[in-house]
Amino acid sequence: MDENIVKICLLNKEFSVKSQESKEHVLTVANLVNDYLNKIQRNKPFGNKLNLALLAALNISSEYVKIKEEYENFEREVMHRVGRLVDQIDEYLKRYPCGVCD
């Protein structure tokens, strides 16, 4: 896959990001980070940009972990339901080997 170099701006500083993701993806991620940085800065102004960036990283990571846990729970539930359906189909086929009810 080709690598793209995309210019982004974070904390009023320009960066050139090399990524295998599309330009649109990189810009979307940069906008998400900027939204978090701006939200934190509005609620509690930081003089130290490193502390601001670290707090944003913690917030983004927390949201990621929550979404990952929700996905894993959803996946377990789906697999459980699929297992029950497979069991029901197996039971039906045992009772009606040709697949047809009398």
**Mean pLDDT, range 42-68, rounded to an integer:** 90
Question: What percent of the chain stands above pLDDT 90?
Answer: 69
* Domains of the chain by residue range: 4-95
pLDDT, residue 48, reads 86
pLDDT attached to residue 47:
77
Asked if 2 contacts 20 with a C-beta cutoff of 8 angstroms, the reply is yes
Which has the closest alpha carbon to 67: 32, 59, 31?
59
| 13 has pLDDT over 70 | yes
- Residue 61 to residues 52, 56, 66, 68: CA-CA distances in angstroms? 14, 8, 9, 10
How far is residue 90's CA from residue 35's CA, in Å, rounded to a whole number?
51
Chain centroid to CA 23: how far? 18
Q: In a 10 Å sphere around its CB, with 0-12 CB exposed, 13-18 middle and 19+ buried, how is residue 97 labelled?
A: exposed
**Residues 69-98: pLDDT tens digits?**
999 999 999 999 999 999 999 999 998 887
pLDDT(61) > 80: yes
